[in-house]
Structure 1
Amino acid sequence: MPLLDLPDCVNARDLGGTPLAGGATVRMRALLRSDNHDLLTADGIAAVRELGVARILDLRHGWEAREFPSPFEDDEIYLNLPLLGVYPGFDPTAPDDYRPEVEHAPERVAAAFTALADAPPGPVLIHCHGGRDRTGILTALALAAAGAAHEDIVADYALTEGTDPQTMRDLLDHFDREHQGVTAYLTESGVDRRRLRAVQRRLTAP
């Protein structure tokens, strides 16, 4: 997956080239990911605009977006949609485990996925604070919905600094075991088939 030069942004890359079912790949400049944008330099901001980004999905909590504001917060391309809530028993010091998080607030996950599906034509840039957990979850859901295999989703996740690939394997296995797959989880969470097809079309290279 090509890295993106967005000074001073980290974990910034294009998901283009990720293998999909049937020999297809993810379209270049369809789905981008990064950490938060409050440290972007003027050159970094210009680079985002030069990419022609049509939608920025900021998955951070509202308080994070206020404390570390995005330089795009007043732009029509920007949308803040907190992906996860703090669920009962949440322990920020515990090892990463996304399974309780996706079960606690499936409606938020569905809203973020729907926003990806409904975005205007052009690149969609997903980010959270570090570009790891919440970004990793939504990216995994999008790739899986488009037909990416588990190992390729895990491989992308592992490119992000500070990740344990087993965390993503556990999440994907959870979707299979408890929901009969990612598509079924998204449908149960409120994503309609039209939005699922829209994400497939957006990501799949012709």
Structure 2
Amino acid sequence: MAGSHGRQNSSSDDLRDDVRDDVEAALDLDGLPSRHLDWPDCRNARDLGGLPTGDGRAIRHRALIRTDSPHRLTEQGVAAVHAYGVSRVLDLRRDIECERAPSPFAGTPLHCHVPVQNPADPDHEWLTLAEIYTAMLDLRPQLFATAVAAIADAPPGGVVVHCAGGKDRTGMVVAMALHLAGVETATIAADYALTEGRLAEENAATLEAVTDPRIREIMRGLQPTPPEVMLTTLEHLDSTYGGVASYLERGGFGADRARVLRDRLVG
């Protein structure tokens, strides 16, 4: 048994190395046209259009956009969102975050508030980033399924998905939507990794403002977005639930709606 277990681990490690090689090859995704969007003053807005799917197609342009909190948007930025053909702004933040940094779309038909955490959920600051992601997913499959459903069920037009920084909660919801649309794991992880550069200036300022050295180091460890974090997260869904689709089915998002999502996103 021990020998068999060792061979299994070796096979798994080899597969992971192959995926990492694919991630390295996919890290030039930043060069795709129309990726980063000039929506003043959002810092981390990008169109996921152009990301290739495994069957040779691609995510439609202006279909799915990820961004940081839109509370920073100027009037020009709000106008740019409308001009982009956005039909839904999916807000994943907690109620308290929405109160502290109100969305300019709150109270309008565009705004769809689907927090993926309950107020009593722990923050897990002591865990690694991948452990935080998997803990959140394990705790709230119904909330994450509702968020993915909000993309599938949106009116015709583009869907903006955001949390506070457009990194963690946004990263998980977008990753699951892209996976259902047929985007390869390596490509999803490579896109996730782009966020780190977009938030570098803001992250540095945040660290500088923290006076407690212990808290500063915890925050420093949670700021990067290495592709391995998303690889680990998706591997967790595979090993624990049988994949993204099976995980979301536990939350009430079934195969029929997954097809609707795929048809919506893939050109």
User: TM-score interval w.r.t. the shorter chain?
Assistant: over 0.9
Alignment counterpart, residue 151 of structure 1, candidates 186, 191, 201: 186
What are the superposed Cα offsets for residues 5-44 of structure 1, whole Å, 9 maximum, x if unpaired? 1011011000001111210100100000100011111111
Q: Are the aligned partners of 1:84 and 1:134 in contact in 2 as well (CA < 8 Å)?
A: no
What are the superposed Cα offsets for residues 136-162 of structure 1, whole Å, 9 maximum, x if unpaired? 000000000011111000011001023
Residue 183 of structure 1 corresponds to 245
Residue 52 of structure 2 corresponds to 19
Residue 119 of structure 1 corresponds to 154
AA matched with 2:191: D
Deviation of 1:194 after TM superposition, in Å, equals 1.9
Residue 198 of structure 1 corresponds to 260
The more displaced of 183-192 and 11-20 is: 183-192
Question: Matched residues in 2 for 1:183 and 1:190: separation?
Answer: 10
Q: Does 1:68 align with 2:101?
A: yes
3-state SS in 1 of match to 2:55? helix
Question: Matched residues in 2 for 1:88 and 1:52: separation?
Answer: 35
Question: Matched residues in 2 for 1:151 and 1:75: separation?
Answer: 36
Give the greater-gyration-radius structure (CA). 2
Residue 18 of structure 2 corresponds to none
Deviation of 1:84 after TM superposition, in Å, equals 2.4
Q: Are the aligned partners of 1:85 and 1:104 in contact in 2 as well (CA < 8 Å)?
A: no
Residue 89 of structure 2 corresponds to 56
Question: Matched residues in 1 for 2:261 and 2:179: separation?
Answer: 10
Percent of residue pairs identical: 42
AA matched with 2:41: D
Higher percent of residues as helix:
2
Q: Are the aligned partners of 1:84 and 1:102 in contact in 2 as well (CA < 8 Å)?
A: no
Matched residue count? 205
Deviation of 1:89 after TM superposition, in Å, equals 5.9
AA matched with 1:141: M
Q: Are the aligned partners of 1:17 and 1:25 in contact in 2 as well (CA < 8 Å)?
A: yes
What are the superposed Cα offsets for residues 82-108 of structure 1, whole Å, 9 maximum, x if unpaired? 012367664224321211110101110
AA matched with 1:42: E
3-state SS in 2 of match to 1:54? strand
Deviation of 1:197 after TM superposition, in Å, equals 0.7
Deviation of 1:72 after TM superposition, in Å, equals 0.7
The more displaced of 6-15 and 83-92 is: 83-92
Q: Are the aligned partners of 2:142 and 2:248 in contact in 1 as well (CA < 8 Å)?
A: no
Q: 1:38 to 1:81 in 2, by over 3 A?
A: same
Q: Does 1:81 align with 2:114?
A: yes
Residue 169 of structure 2 corresponds to 134
Question: Matched residues in 2 for 1:87 and 1:163: separation?
Answer: 26
